[in-house]
Amino acid sequence: MSMHRVLTTLGCVLTVVLATAWSAAPPTESAAPVAATTVRTHDGPVRGAAHDGYRTFEGIPYAASPVGRLRWAPPHRPAPWSGVRDATKPASACPQPAGEVPGGSTDEDCLHLNVTTPDGVGPARPRPVIVWLHGGGFTTGAGTSYDAHRMATRGDAVVVTVNYRLGALGFLAHSGLPGSGTFGLADQQAALRWVRAEIGAFGGDPHNVTLAGESAGGYSVCTQLASPAAAGLFNRAIIESGPCTGRPDRPFAPSSVPLSTARTAGADLAAKVGCGSARDVLACLRSVNVSRLLAAQDTDQQPTHTTPLLPSDPAAAITAGRFHHVPVLIGNNHDEGNGWAAGIIQAGHPVTPDTWPDVVASFFLSPGQAKAIVREYPVHRTDGGPVFGAVIGDANFACPTARTDGLLAAHVPVWRYEFADKHAPPLTSDTPPFPLGAPHASELPYLFDLGGRPRDLTAAQHRLADTMIDYWTRFARTANPNGPSSPHWSRHTVLTLAPDRIAPTPTAQPRHHCTFWNTLG
């Protein structure tokens, strides 16, 4: 295995480790349900749980179970039910290896969503709706990991969190298979259609829907911006740490791949599970048990473009202005790459002045590029980890986010932020080899209670969390995040979000090393 593959795999494993940090915590006592509440949908009534100031409805099916002949098929309508469906407990996560979901999951009956509403909602005054797409590298994650009650109550919004097919089950491509490489994206669109049809019964406004996500979820928002089939399904977009201009040669941020590449990966998977030479390859694949598929699938998964659902790479579509023209809130974290750098170092790959050129060369195969990066980001005796983190963060997140901002802003209103709490709560219990600052995913505890457990935030961090929720939900309500009690956020600035500094910075001011990366290509 090449050094590039080793380090990238370690990075993907680290993402799972970060997710595990919030997965196993039981809900706090304050989140315990105190009463039942029933809402009628077109498929049948659902009974949720009433809490202190909000209601939750968990495990509502928005599509049929994708099993048997529906494995690797576009999502179908769920079967209606006659009795009242219990929606007080989470449904199964989509199949995935152990990580964010303790023990993983092999249950394909997973196309469910969860609704959180503030008390007092109703058809007379519908609230804005935020549909949240989870991250996890398109291989892990679940909507139920994100307890959205703070966003719902403080922001007076209805929040929907979604499961969608992951890994090979979500993104397999094979010749003759309609929907190749985009089943997970089709699931997201089916969830949005459910929201349009049903959310009014929960007090949400079907005509004011914000599609939001982080990491792979953020990149999913990019794909939906570029997908003709998503037209009219959402009115605004929030993209966290998932820039639309990701590329396969920058392997830490999500990106898409062409159909030809995805089909090659699909043929490799079929061969691994013993179906490569079968008379009917797809029938054979549909008979393979989930555990075997999970063991055989690649660590990296990407949606597929040059397909009916995603005709163009989102980067190309957005560059050409061919995307749904809705307002966008987009941003990244100041130290996106530090978590990966720390994990790779802890796995036995130190970054020193001597090893640094080889580490860079493992990711940037052009000798000229590697040498230029080493010159731009020199490593001295004690700063190898942070320098490696800066390269990952700048190349994969900060600079692509700035580029995405510029491309989008030529057509739609864009609000850009940078989360910069250098003392953000750690996402793992391990002691890192250097301070991580504000790494990938560290903004999430400021918006959600992950795994149902509030994060251990200081008073200043709680104020920052409230401010972020205010910005996010005002944007969802009016397409403008500004309000009377928060620092003004101009569309021509980058808003720094930190406990000691919430302030706009002109976008013309040099940030990170983006001029270098633009020159490098």
Residues annotated as catalytic (active site), given as ranges: 215, 336, 440
CA 117 from centre of chain: 22
Query: SS3 of 62, please?
Result: coil
Residues 6+ apart with CB under 8 A from 30: 52
Q: In which region does residue 98 sit, left (phi positive, over 0), alpha (psi from -120 to 50) or beta (all else)?
A: beta
Separation CA 365–CA 463 (nearest Å): 44
Which tokens hold the place of 323? Answer: 């995307």
10 phi and psi angles, rounded to 5 deg: -60, -40
Residue 505 parent element (H or E): strand 501-506
- Which residue type sits at 239? I
Instruction: Say if CB 19 and CB 93 are below 8 A apart.
Output: no
Separation CA 136–CA 125 (nearest Å): 35
Separation CA 138–CA 320 (nearest Å): 26
Separation CA 423–CA 407 (nearest Å): 32
Residue with tokens 């009650």: 149
Separation CA 308–CA 227 (nearest Å): 9
